[in-house]
Structure formats: C-alpha cells, structure tokens
DNA sequence: CGTAACTCATTACCTAGGCTAAAGAACAGC
DNA sequence: GCTGTTCTTTAGCCTAGGTAATGAGTTACG
C-alpha cells in the first residue's frame, strides 16, 4: 500500500518537472499529447479528442484552436454531421513531431544517466500501464 | 525510445486524473505531498520544502500558509537563524494522513481491479524510480 | 567595527491551463 | 413537425504555479 503513496507523489512531482522542462518550448504538454493522439489515430472530432485526453470539451476547443493557429492542425467540416468538425494533422505537425523526438532523445540520454539499467527497465515496463490507467 | 513517449504522456495524463479524483477533497496534491515529506523528515524550513517539492519559495510560502490555516502545520521561529522558520506537522495532520490513507486504499482497490497482477507489479516496481527521478 | 553582499521569507502581480454554465446549431425519435 | 439530445463554442471563473521586488537577518571582508 506504500506503493500507491510513492506512485502518487512520484507522478505528481514528475509531472510538474515535465511541464517545466518541456521538450518543445512552444507547445504545452497537452498540445503535444493531442498531436501524438492524432498521429496514432488519424483524424478525430474535438469531442473524441476531449474524451481521449480526459479533458472537457471547452478545453479541447481551445487546445485545437491553438494548434490550428500554429498551423499544426486543420479543421474541416464533418462529412456526415454538420455539428461536428474533423481535426487532422498537417505535414508541418509531422515534421515538428519528428524534430521534437530528436530533442526528447537528448533529454532521455541525460535522464538515463542518472538511473541504472534496472531502474530504467522498470520505468519502461511501467509506462504502458500508466497509459492504460490514464485512459481507463 | 518509444518508452519515453509513453512515460511522458502517461505521467501527464495520470497526474491530471489524480489531481481531479483527489483522495482528500480539502487538500491539493502538493499540500498532501508536503505533509508526506514532513512526516518523513520531521520538521523543515520553507525553502528546504520548496527545494524538495521542486517548487519556488513563494509558492511554498503560500502552501505552508494554507496548511497552517487548516491547523495541519505549526510555524515556529528557527532556533539559530531569525530569518528562517521551522515548519512541523501537528497531531491533527498525522491523524488526517492516517484517515486519508484509508480512503487511498479504497481508491487503490478499485484501481487494482482494472489491472492484472503483472501490471500492478510493474507499477509498484516503478514507483520508487519515479520518486527518485522527481527528486534528482 | 561597519558596510557590502548575500540569503530567507514574503508580498504583489501575472500566466497557463484547466473547469462549469449557458447558448446556438444540427440531429433523432416520436 | 416538435421535443429532446448532442456537438461545439463563448464567457467567465479558479487553482496552482511562476517572476520581480522588498524587508529583515546574517556573513564576509576591508
């Protein structure tokens, strides 16, 4: 049961540091996360994205608007429901993701330096579970 | 290298959910975290706490003021440096921590229901590493 | 000594990134 | 066709952090 405690405080503190040492200065972590989701799922409507990111629809409206303003995302009318919109990545988003993957690897290298191999393996093993938990 | 990606988004999303589904309604996650630190380390000065929680001193001033207003923490003049103050938990904080540990276990039970044993073991194994990372 | 430089806590103000409530447009079922 | 429901957006709020500047106390050095 002590593990829950450690998990909770570890996640909270690390998220604060992640938010701060963000890989790409111009994009918030949630914006990055949305781009990642779009890269995986192709296009989606704003409310689908909101559900996937566990964010309320109005928040997603703003995030998508930001991404559109930065030219990373395109908004098109939904083919069969005129209330909805479809959000798709632009080519620019793809190249930006690629570039930031580069930086992320540098950050990783520094990070991994502080951990021994076993510790890093544990993190890697837990990462998908964290994602599952975050989504469930 | 995909693991970093998963780790980052997992931590960010889970932290958002944690912040929302907080175990104790009256205390923010960071306040809980400070109490936990105090429980481990005994008393500390505000700037020591700020360093440990990776927060700027002004933020810690406010957090400590909150905790004091809620009667969870006592502020005393530092014995040998009149600029500083020492922050110590009250008895009330201890019993509150105990009570919230109770609730946390209930949340854990629900959580563990969604995971199989292996997944849970991975989280437990990674938790201390997360803490180390958050502190380093 | 005494003064200059530094450190700790605090104050005042700002920003980011969420939220809820409400409204307008489009759809679906009766 | 109405009525209720769903999707997005707008408006306004709140929380939790940050920076810059201040005041009091301490330390180092001339």
Contacts with A31 from chain B: Cβ below 8 Å: none
Whether A39 contacts chain B with CB within 8 A: no
Is B129's CB within 8 Å of A135's CB?
no
B56 nearest nucleotide via C1' and CA: D18
Distance in Å, residue A66 CA to nucleotide C19 C1': 18
Confidence of residue A1 (pLDDT cuts 50, 70, 90): low
Q: Is residue B19 part of a domain?
A: no
How far is B28 from A28, CA to CA, in rounded Å?
22
CA B54 to chain centre: 11
> Which residue range is the domain that position B72 belongs to?
28-135
Q: Is B8 inside any structural domain?
A: no
State the pLDDT at residue B1: 66
B40 in a structural domain:
yes
Assign residue A73 the CATH number of its domain.
1.10.10.10
Q: What's A21's DSSP letter?
A: T
**CA B33, CA B114: separation in Å to the nearest integer?**
25
> Where on strand D do bases come within 7 A of a protein Cβ?
6-12, 15-21, 23-27
pLDDT tens-digit readout, A16-43: 888 777 777 788 889 999 999 999 999 9
pLDDT tens per residue across span A73-122: 999 999 999 999 999 999 999 998 888 888 878 877 787 788 999 999 99
Q: Flag whether A111 is in a domain.
A: no
Q: Could you write out the DSSP letters of every residue in B98-125?
A: HHHHHHHHHHHHHHHHTS-HHHHHHHHH
Could you give the count of Cα atoms lying within 13 Å of B131 in the half-sphere of its Cβ?
Answer: 17
- Whether residues B128 and A10 touch (CB distance < 8 A) is answered with yes
Taking the C1' atom of every nucleotide in all shown strands and the CA of B65, the nearest one is C10
- Asked whether residue B102 is domain-assigned, the answer is yes
A52 domain residue, yes or no: yes
Which residue out of B30, B122, B132 would a mutagenesis test of the A interface target, given it has the greatest number of A Cβ atoms within 10 Å? B122
If one counts the domains in chain A, the total is: 1
Distance of C1' in C9 from CA in B37, Å: 20
Kindly determine whether the C-beta of residue B75 is less than 7 Å away from any atom of nucleic acid strand C. Answer: yes
Dihedral sign, CA of B6, A111, A26, B21? positive
Residue B34 has pLDDT above 80, yes or no: yes
For residue A35, is it within any domain? yes
On whether the CB atoms of residues A38 and A87 are closer than 8 A, the answer is: yes
Q: Does residue A79 form part of some domain?
A: yes
């Amino acid at each position: 049961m002590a593990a829950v405690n450690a998990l909770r405080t570890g996640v909270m503190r690390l998220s604060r540091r992640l938010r701060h040492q963000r890989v790409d200065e111009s994009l918030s972590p949630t914006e990055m996360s949305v781009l990642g989701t779009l890269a995986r799922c192709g296009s989606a409507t704003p409310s689908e994205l909101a559900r996937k990111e566990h964010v309320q629809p109005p928040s997603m409206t703003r995030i998508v608007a930001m991404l559109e303003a930065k030219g990373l995302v395109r908004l098109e009318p939904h083919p069969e429901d005129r209330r909805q919109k479809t959000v798709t990545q632009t080519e620019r988003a793809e190249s930006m993701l690629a570039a930031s993957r580069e930086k992320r690897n540098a950050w990783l290298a520094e990070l991994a330096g502080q951990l021994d191999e076993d510790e890093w393996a544990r993190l890697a093993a837990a990462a998908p579970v964290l994602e599952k938990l975050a989504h469930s």
